[in-house]
Chain A
Amino acid sequence: MKKRALLIFILIFWMVGACTFLAMKIEEQMIPKVTSVEPDGGWDSDPSLPADCLIEDENGTHLYKIYEGTGWEAGTRVAEEQGWLQVEDKLMMSSAWGDYVQYSSKPLREGELVEVIRNGDKVEDHWLAVFPEDLIPETDWKDLPEGVKLEERSEKAAQFYVEDDQAPFMAGRAKSRIRELAGAKVYSFNDMTQMLDNFTALGLLTGMFMAVLILWIFSCVYSKEAKRNRWYLGVNLVLGVLLLACVPIVLNSIELPSSLLPRERITDIGTITGAIDEFFGALKGFAPPASDTGFLSPSLPKSVAGREIIEFKNMVIMRPVLYGFLGALFAALLALGEKVVMYIRRRPRIK
């Protein structure tokens, strides 16, 4: 009973410990980045906000105010604001003060923690706009704003080169810069590259979890003769602690792009894979037909950025599975090594 309780609770507390590190990282990553704006207007006129402040999602159109929470809800948060009226490109309000969200890196929720970005860096980027069937704009993309160039286009998507985008990428801001993108899903190449860049670290994490699980299973077997196997149990325990200590180190290298993360829970993998599929599916749409490229040539888009990101994706996409397998293999080999040592030390000897 004692041994069983100890083994089970060691695993539970290891998990709780790892969850603590994970939760710290997840909270940090899931916080939407927002830009804020103060209402215009003085004593003599009603306050107003730019119409860009309206954030659309599947539940409708929302206006969010930024506030400081207390207690369990400490930190900078957003609350939905009512009582606004859209007049052309302005939102008229009877009373307004403080800061309001103008753009956000992902859809917001009532009471959610946010990080207000005051001065973002200017970066070079490529945008990919994917249009739904019924919202394909009938434009030749000639009247693009300064610093934006059309790179490729297909029936359902368009790719732009942006000379001076403000980081972090916010789809709302991109849509306000190119008005024809309203209704489209807009992706940033920089964000997608950043997302793919994390696959190695995510794979390492998977590997570490697998390794701990395997070590734990072997420890359960060793614990049947705990006194005899105390050294091996000790080694497994030390390895478990070391792996736990490595979790924050690996997590430290993870930096997920906010624009590609799900709205509520990071475990909603479907949203992330859906975005990746849609992004690369649209890129494929830029590729010339197979008859033009030859039978054996891979079908790649013409733009350098498009080619590079597809090649990068092909390189890293299987890493989480691979590292997960390697982690399990490492632990299994280690345990096998322990068994071999055990056998050599305990084999009968003739003197």
Chain B
Amino acid sequence: MKTKTSITGNIFAWIFAFISIAPFVYVLTLSFLTPNGITFGYYYDVFLGSPQYLLRFWKSLCICLVIVAGQLVVSILAGYGFAKCDFPGKNLLLFILMILMVLPLQVTLAPNYIMLDKLGLLDTYSALIFPSIFIPLGTFILTQSFKSVSEDIIDAAKLDGCGLFRMLTRIVLPMNTSGLVCVTLLSFLDGWNMVEQPIAYIKDFQRYPISVALAYVPPADPTLQLVCCILVVLPPLFLFTYFNRELVEGIVLAEVK
């Protein structure tokens, strides 16, 4: 019976894996195909013919890295505060944070636009970076993650003379790698896939990240767009393959909790 279940499970797993990977394989296959046969010409156009795609790729990557770094700093400090510190209004603030988290992005676009306008940040990369750094999801995830660290460990560390910074870097963070990976991945994907924010906050086409600019690749060349898709998929693919173990651990941990 056990064998039967595992075989059925395997078949389903393979089917789901195929369904998940099929679009990528489709894009990869079509990126080499033209009506006249197999070609590397479009790869030449994107990777060697003109630097505009690659420069935009690196710019977008830099924006995302700044967003991830910023969001990690904010989320770690805020998450630790919510999880391990007592202060008046903590629950109310956490509640407000959760409400902000469930608000759709489109609702926050207009207020953010007005705020960025007042700060004079419209049409700059900062307009994409600052709002993304303060997205509450990271704080919420790390709050929940840090709550799992036993108070006894924290107290023991304090008794040994551990300060806040040392406690965070030496004890709390190493014990919550899956939470950190989760926040890193989510914030990176948020930044990498952002479409509405650049359209709303940026007017200059040259400043658009690759996620938006991809839509403007000459439509006469769908294959060129597919090659651009291959380029765009590289960083998330790296993150998912590199953090594969932490992600699986995080999911297993969440199930156990």
Q: Is the CB of B234 within 8 A of A2?
A: no
The answer to whether B50 touches A23 (Cβ under 8 A) is yes
Contact B49 A26 (CB under 8 A): yes
**Most A CB within 10 A of own CB, among B47, B58, B213, B234:** B47
Closest chain A CB from B242 CB (angstroms): 5
Contact call B242/A266, Cβ cutoff below 8 A:
no
Any chain A CB within 8 A of the CB of B54?
yes
CB-nearest residue of chain B to A15: B47
Is B12's beta carbon under 8 Å from chain A? no
Residues 40-85 of B contacting A (Cβ, < 8 Å): 41, 44, 47-52, 54-55, 57-58
- Tell me how far the C-beta of B232 lies from the nearest C-beta in chain A, rounded to whole angstroms: 12
A16 to B231, CA, bound (A): 9
Total contacts A-B at CB 8 Å: 66
**How many angstroms from the CA of A17 to the CA of B58 in the assembled complex?**
9
| Contact between A20 and B58, CB atoms less than 8 A apart | yes
Tell me what chain A mostly uses at the interface: helix, strand, loop, or mixed. Answer: helix
Inter-chain contact B49/A265, CB cutoff 8 Å: yes
Assembled-state Cα–Cα distance A17/B54 (Å): 8
In the complex, A27 has a CB within 8 A of chain B: yes
Q: Among A19, A22, A74, which residue has the most Cβ atoms of chain B within 10 A?
A: A19
Chain A stretch 1-49: residues in CB contact (< 8 A) with chain B: 1-2, 5-6, 9, 12-13, 16-17, 19-20, 22-24, 26-27, 30
Q: Are B44 and A72 in contact (CB under 8 A)?
A: no
Interface residues of B in 1-59 (CB under 8 A from A): 41, 44, 47-52, 54-55, 57-58
Give the complex CA separation of A27 and B51 in angstroms.
7
At the interface, yes or no: B158 with Cβ under 8 Å from chain A? no
Other-chain contact of B47, A16, A72, A74, A266 (Cβ < 8 Å): A16
> Does A98 reach chain B (CB closer than 8 Å)?
no
Contact of A20 among B51, B218, B242 (CB under 8 A): B51
The reply to whether B54 and A19 contact each other, CB–CB distance below 8 Å, is: yes
Give the chain A neighbours of B41 by CB distance below 8 A: 265
What mask results when residues 117 to 159 of chain A are scored 1 for a CB within 8 Å of chain B, else 0? 0000000000000000000000000000000000000000000
A78 to nearest B CB, angstroms?
A: 16
Contacts of B241 in A (CB 8 A): 1, 5, 9
Interface check A82, CB cutoff 8 A = no
Given the known interface contacts A20-B55, A72-B216, the answer about A5 and B238 at a Cβ–Cβ threshold of 8 Å is yes
Residue B108 lies at the interface, judged by CB distance under 8 Å to chain A: no
Distance between A323 CB and nearest chain B CB, rounded to angstroms = 20
For A55-76 the 0/1 string (1 means CB < 8 A from B) is 0000000000000001111100
Q: List 27 A-B contacts (CB under 8 A).
A: A1-B244, A2-B242, A2-B245, A5-B241, A9-B234, A12-B238, A16-B231, A16-B234, A19-B54, A20-B51, A20-B54, A23-B47, A23-B50, A24-B51, A24-B55, A26-B49, A27-B49, A27-B51, A30-B49, A70-B205, A71-B205, A72-B52, A72-B205, A72-B213, A72-B218, A74-B206, A265-B49
The 7 A-B pairs with the shortest beta carbon distances in the complex, nearest first, are A5-B241, A23-B51, A20-B54, A9-B238, A24-B51, A19-B47, A5-B242
Measuring CB to CB, which residues of chain A are less than 8 angstroms from any residue of chain B? 1-2, 5-6, 9, 12-13, 16-17, 19-20, 22-24, 26-27, 30, 70-74, 265-267
Given contacts A13-B238, A74-B205, 20 further A-B contacts (CB under 8 A): A5-B241, A5-B242, A5-B244, A9-B238, A9-B242, A12-B238, A13-B234, A16-B234, A17-B58, A19-B47, A20-B51, A20-B55, A23-B54, A24-B55, A26-B49, A70-B205, A72-B217, A72-B218, A73-B218, A265-B41
